[in-house]
A and B are shown apart, each in its own frame.
Chain A
Amino acid sequence: MVALAGAIVLSAGACAGEGGATTADAEGSSGLTVYSGRDEEFVGPVFEAFTEDEGIELEVRYGDSAELAATILEEGESSPADVFLSQDAGSLGAVAEAGLFAQLDDEVLDRVDERFRSPDGLWVGTSGRARVAAYNTGALAEGDLPESIDGFTDPSWEGRIGFAPTNSSFQAFVAGMIETEGADATRSFLDGIVANEPNIYEDNSSTVRAVASGEIDVGFVNHYYIYEVAAEDGDIPVANHFFVGGDPGALVNTAGIGILETSDEAGAAATLVDYLTGKQGQTYFAEETYEYPVVAGIEPREDLVPLEEIESPELDLSDLGGTLEPALELLAEVGLL
């Protein structure tokens, strides 16, 4: 029995040895190690295009943005990562605050809308996503929808709205609302929404599917989900409605990238940051993931409200994480979590 177990361990070790060898080979080609909090589904193709265009091999480690940020914090000076690409500004802010990011070139920073980069020049946005109300075009016309998300607390919306309270983008929206409107206003907004008996979904795509099937008329989601669901399910009768006037419902969050201070591939890392914030990268995000380019001169999908016209609430995106706890507490108190 023990001999058998030993044999299994050894064979596992041997397999591990082989696996380790391939990793070492890849390292031998002086590749760039990227920690990616964005899913392979979204960014895999643009990484491949980068390698093809620039001749720099990438070793991409996929994971959850916040967990990868925690990993980098634990690794500290020993981090094997050269670059950290994150789904949200909060994770970038945490790494920046720990002093683990290197300063980025001014040239790269200046390309990007001021709302979507680190005030200290330690990380820069790569693409934006806007909160919207996705509505069923069979049930509603654009003009039927309120200008502020607060309008959905009106009793006429009872039983017609839905969202995913466990989704981090929704939670970031609530955190943003606390930042700009205060906790009391946020609570009365949430109370009003709860009074309208919203439908609760597991995630954004389920919410969009419910809007498509007519189960609800309106869902609070990120702007690109209607395109993703359409790609999987076929044409759906759903359109995006954007809130205006700096409304908390119009929060635009950003994915972004930073270079680790300890990277010994700083040159190649800078090339990747340049690529993703350059024409090829930005066009990719606009056309393939239906996100907002964050650099002037690259247009989003034509049926989207241009980014500069979205009056998003005034706040520092990388600070939103700190307000997440009160946001979750509030959501729990009103019974949404």
Chain B
Amino acid sequence: MVQTASFGQVRFARGRGGRVPRGLLLLAVPVTALLLLPVGYLLVRAAEADAGSWDLILRGRTVELALRSVALVTAVTGAAALIGVPLAWLTTRTDLPGKRVWAVLLSLPLVIPSYVGAFALLAAFGPRGLLQGSLERVFGVHRIPDISGFPGAFVSLTLFTYPYVFLLVAAALRGLDPSLEEASRSLGHSRWRTFRSVTLPLLRPSIAAGSLLVALYTLHDFGAVSLMRFNVFTQAIYLQYRGAFDRTPAAILSLMLIAIAGVILALERRARGKARYHRSGAGSARPAAAASLGRWKWVALSVCALVAAVAFVAPIAVIVFWLLRGIRAGGEAVLPWGAAGGSMVVAAGGAALALLAALPIALLSVRYRGRVGAATEALSYSGYALPGIVVALAFVFFAANFTPSLYQSLPLVVIAYAVLFLPQMSEPLRGSLLQVGPGIEEAGRALGRSRTKVFRVLTAPLIARGATAGAALVFLTSMKELPATLLLRPTGFETLATRVWTGASVGLFAKAAGPALMLIVICCVPLYILARRAEVDRVDVRAE
């Protein structure tokens, strides 16, 4: 029942798995090729640069916008971790009343598209929103503080991205061996000291992974920041497409965005640490004893309720309000079932393809720690760091000119989703691979089983949790995706996100409300499955 969680002095088993299997490398080649497309496109466009385009970039507010982006990313990531980690602990390790319900409720903000969420927040808490309206009626308050600008962008992005940290950390907490913490407690350490010196270090990879997803999401977001009128780097890129119609400066700016993402990635790799996180022995696979909250129970409940109210209930209430107002004015509730089906097909395809693409990369980088794996893995963040429009145009360029039969087809949309959201798959997958000791696989091999058989029988079931979490995340994000869907879909193909866009872009919120609600309801399903799965795992463990 001994477990190594020794940090700092871990020997690195470089290339422990021995020679990299050729099959794995062969699988990684097409994935790498796909991931190279956006960067390749940007390099092609950037190569057309002349002095004029550089002048355009240097003359503008490029540096200022980059600094604003960095400030926003830092603030949102920090806040998301500060919200996500404690909530994850509360809902997995304490006697918080109704913690299973909270676990689902607190991950739900993830299903709200940030452009819808930001709009709803403005409608609810803006200077002339529903809140101010009721305050005026009751207390005669005419003005409340304006949330647009940095505060609005910061609040809305934090509220709609903290679930990345929350979900990954909660999953890690469930998978942690409680015996380490018990040992610390039995040595007389306080609960806080145990959390700080044992639990928190064990959570480092999941906190880092969740924060990375939050940081890169914030970096590439355009919808929420533009609604909140906070100018960041993505605005400079959009401006080149929308105003100047000049793709060369847009490409150079996009490459700069990738460079910023590279710095963030390097920071995450440092924060993640180089320790090993898998059990060396059998470990004790049982749930940890719940910490008693005592008098803090009410504080904890209020915090959970507040976060859920602002990040989930308020946006839903605003959307329902739009729907009802439209119906009252004589309109009909628009519930596009066909678009719902379309959304689910492409989002499920995106999740499945992302899993297929992420597996070889994760195996290469975790098991074999080779340069190929590391390089491909780093490359896999480039799509996620870019605004959807840039990746979409890259696929337009390559598909229209080189594979016309694939252009404007569903498979192309699915491929674009996988390239855009691969990190949401690879981060949880990587996390669960790190928890599987290579010793298990070596034992399997030693018993004469083939590599594929070992993977199928031993590794796959052990990393299923990470794969499910990743698939759910990619599915959710794909359901909400708009810019790439609009440009790459087959003509006439509708998703719920395109229907929301169709309604909202002409200011007819009644028309946008129906599809938005359907989108949110459908997205709740994978989150529910995730939560159920966590419960099932637990029951299995108890049964042993």
Q: Which of A14-22, A105-113, A280-288 forms contacts with chain B?
A: A14-22
A197–B279 Cα gap in the complex (Å)? 62
A153 at the interface (CB under 8 A from B): no
Q: Which residues in B have their C-beta under 8 angstroms from that of A2?
A: 356, 359, 456, 460
Determine chain A's interface SS by DSSP, over half rule. helix
A66 touches B242 (CB 8 A): yes
Q: Which residues in A have their C-beta under 8 angstroms from that of B119?
A: 202
B35 at the interface (CB under 8 A from A): no
Q: Which of B400, B507, B510 contacts A204 (CB 8 A)?
A: B507
A97–B407 Cα gap in the complex (Å)? 25
A59–B352 Cα gap in the complex (Å)? 30
A60 at the interface (CB under 8 A from B): yes
B486 touches A325 (CB 8 A): no
A76 at the interface (CB under 8 A from B): yes
Q: Which residues in B have their C-beta under 8 angstroms from that of A200?
A: 127, 148, 229
Q: Which residues in B have their C-beta under 8 angstroms from that of A78?
A: 400-401, 404, 407
In the complex, which residue of chain A has the Cβ closest to the Cβ of B489? A61
A199–B440 Cα gap in the complex (Å)? 64
Q: Which residues in A have their C-beta under 8 angstroms from that of B227?
A: 166, 202
A64 touches B486 (CB 8 A): yes
A202–B245 Cα gap in the complex (Å)? 24
In the complex, which residue of chain A has the Cβ closest to the Cβ of B404? A78
B404 touches A325 (CB 8 A): no
* Those of B100-123 within 8 Å (CB) of chain A: 119, 122
B276 at the interface (CB under 8 A from A): no
In the complex, which residue of chain A has the Cβ closest to the Cβ of B418? A9
**Contact A329/B60 with A94-B245, A337-B229 known, Cβ cut-off 8 Å:** yes
In the complex, which residue of chain A has the Cβ closest to the Cβ of B241? A70
Q: Max chain B CB contacts within 10 Å: which of A16, A61, A168, A215? A: A16
B526 at the interface (CB under 8 A from A): no
B487 touches A67 (CB 8 A): yes
* Those of B493-538 within 8 Å (CB) of chain A: 493, 502, 505-508, 510-511
Q: Which residues in A have their C-beta under 8 angstroms from that of B242?
A: 66-67, 168, 321, 324
Determine chain B's interface SS by DSSP, over half rule. helix
A154 at the interface (CB under 8 A from B): no
B464 at the interface (CB under 8 A from A): yes
* Those of A201-216 within 8 Å (CB) of chain B: 202-206, 210, 215
B85 at the interface (CB under 8 A from A): no
B244 touches A321 (CB 8 A): yes
B61 at the interface (CB under 8 A from A): yes
Expressed in whole angstroms, the minimum distance between the Cβ of A335 and any Cβ of chain B is 9
A234 touches B329 (CB 8 A): yes
A337 touches B231 (CB 8 A): yes
B349 touches A16 (CB 8 A): yes
Q: What is the 8 Å Cβ interface bit string for chain B, positions 386-412, against chain A (1 contact, 0 not)?
A: 000100010011001100100111110
A75 touches B352 (CB 8 A): no
Q: Which of A5, A20, A205, A234 contacts B409 (CB 8 A)?
A: A20
Q: What is the 8 Å Cβ interface bit string for chain A, positions 7-40, against chain B (1 contact, 0 not)?
A: 0110011011001100100100000010000011
A91 at the interface (CB under 8 A from B): yes
Q: Which residues in A have their C-beta under 8 angstroms from that of B131?
A: none
Q: Which residues in A have their C-beta under 8 angstroms from that of B331?
A: 232
A322 at the interface (CB under 8 A from B): yes
B348 touches A59 (CB 8 A): no
* Those of B430-471 within 8 Å (CB) of chain A: 456, 460-461, 464, 467
Q: Which residues in B have their C-beta under 8 angstroms from that of A328?
A: 239, 243
A334 at the interface (CB under 8 A from B): no
A64–B119 Cα gap in the complex (Å)? 19
Q: Max chain A CB contacts within 10 Å: which of B119, B353, B505, B507? A: B507
B243 touches A210 (CB 8 A): no
A242–B247 Cα gap in the complex (Å)? 37
User: How many B residues touch A, CB cutoff 8 Å?
Assistant: 63
* Those of B224-250 within 8 Å (CB) of chain A: 226-227, 229, 231, 239, 241-245, 247
**Contact A15/B393 with A1-B467, A90-B243 known, Cβ cut-off 8 Å:** no
Q: Which residues in A have their C-beta under 8 angstroms from that of B508?
A: 41, 205, 228, 232
Q: Which of A74, A215, A324 contacts B397 (CB 8 A)?
A: A74
Q: Which of A6, A40, A91, A204 contacts B245 (CB 8 A)?
A: A91
* Those of B177-226 within 8 Å (CB) of chain A: 226
A157 at the interface (CB under 8 A from B): no
B410 touches A19 (CB 8 A): yes
A90–B389 Cα gap in the complex (Å)? 19
Q: Which residues in B have their C-beta under 8 angstroms from that of A324?
A: 239, 242-244
A74 touches B400 (CB 8 A): yes
**Contact A199/B127 with A40-B502, A74-B393 known, Cβ cut-off 8 Å:** yes
A15–B507 Cα gap in the complex (Å)? 33
B490 touches A23 (CB 8 A): yes
B410 touches A16 (CB 8 A): yes
**Contact A67/B352 with A2-B460, A61-B491, A202-B122 known, Cβ cut-off 8 Å:** no
B467 touches A62 (CB 8 A): no
In the complex, which residue of chain B has the Cβ closest to the Cβ of A201? B128
In the complex, which residue of chain A has the Cβ closest to the Cβ of B405? A20
B507 touches A203 (CB 8 A): yes
A332 at the interface (CB under 8 A from B): yes
B492 at the interface (CB under 8 A from A): yes
A5–B508 Cα gap in the complex (Å)? 39
A128 at the interface (CB under 8 A from B): no
A70 touches B486 (CB 8 A): no
Q: Which residues in A have their C-beta under 8 angstroms from that of B507?
A: 203-206, 225, 228-229
Q: Which residues in A have their C-beta under 8 angstroms from that of B326?
A: 232
**Contact A1/B460 with A94-B245, A203-B507 known, Cβ cut-off 8 Å:** yes
In the complex, which residue of chain B has the Cβ closest to the Cβ of A75? B400
Expressed in whole angstroms, the minimum distance between the Cβ of A320 and any Cβ of chain B is 9
B60 touches A39 (CB 8 A): no
A97–B247 Cα gap in the complex (Å)? 14
A229–B389 Cα gap in the complex (Å)? 30
A165–B510 Cα gap in the complex (Å)? 23
B414 at the interface (CB under 8 A from A): yes
Q: Which residues in A have their C-beta under 8 angstroms from that of B400?
A: 74-76, 78-80
B339 at the interface (CB under 8 A from A): no
Q: Which residues in A have their C-beta under 8 angstroms from that of B359?
A: 2
Q: Which of A67, A210, A234 contacts B483 (CB 8 A)?
A: A67
In the complex, which residue of chain A has the Cβ closest to the Cβ of B396? A74
B372 at the interface (CB under 8 A from A): no
A325 touches B60 (CB 8 A): yes
In the complex, which residue of chain A has the Cβ closest to the Cβ of B397? A74
A16 touches B352 (CB 8 A): no
**Contact A325/B239 with A6-B356, A74-B396, A215-B128 known, Cβ cut-off 8 Å:** yes
Expressed in whole angstroms, the minimum distance between the Cβ of B218 and any Cβ of chain A is 19
Q: Which residues in A have their C-beta under 8 angstroms from that of B410?
A: 12, 15-16, 19-20
A237 at the interface (CB under 8 A from B): no
**Contact A60/B491 with A8-B349, A70-B393 known, Cβ cut-off 8 Å:** yes
A16 touches B411 (CB 8 A): yes
B28 at the interface (CB under 8 A from A): no
B335 at the interface (CB under 8 A from A): no
B345 at the interface (CB under 8 A from A): yes
A233 at the interface (CB under 8 A from B): yes
B81 at the interface (CB under 8 A from A): no
Q: Max chain B CB contacts within 10 Å: which of A15, A233, A337? A: A15
In the complex, which residue of chain B has the Cβ closest to the Cβ of A171? B243
Q: Max chain A CB contacts within 10 Å: which of B242, B460, B483? A: B242
Q: Which residues in B have their C-beta under 8 angstroms from that of A166?
A: 226-227, 229
B355 at the interface (CB under 8 A from A): yes
A–B complex contacts, Cβ < 8 Å, 5 sampled = A23-B409, A23-B490, A70-B393, A80-B408, A210-B128
Q: Known contacts A23-B490, A42-B506, A321-B242; can you find 12 more A-B pairs with CB under 8 A? A: A6-B352, A6-B356, A9-B352, A15-B349, A16-B349, A39-B502, A39-B505, A63-B487, A70-B389, A202-B227, A232-B326, A325-B60
- Nearest 7 interchain pairs by C-beta: A324-B243, A12-B349, A205-B507, A94-B245, A16-B410, A8-B352, A66-B242
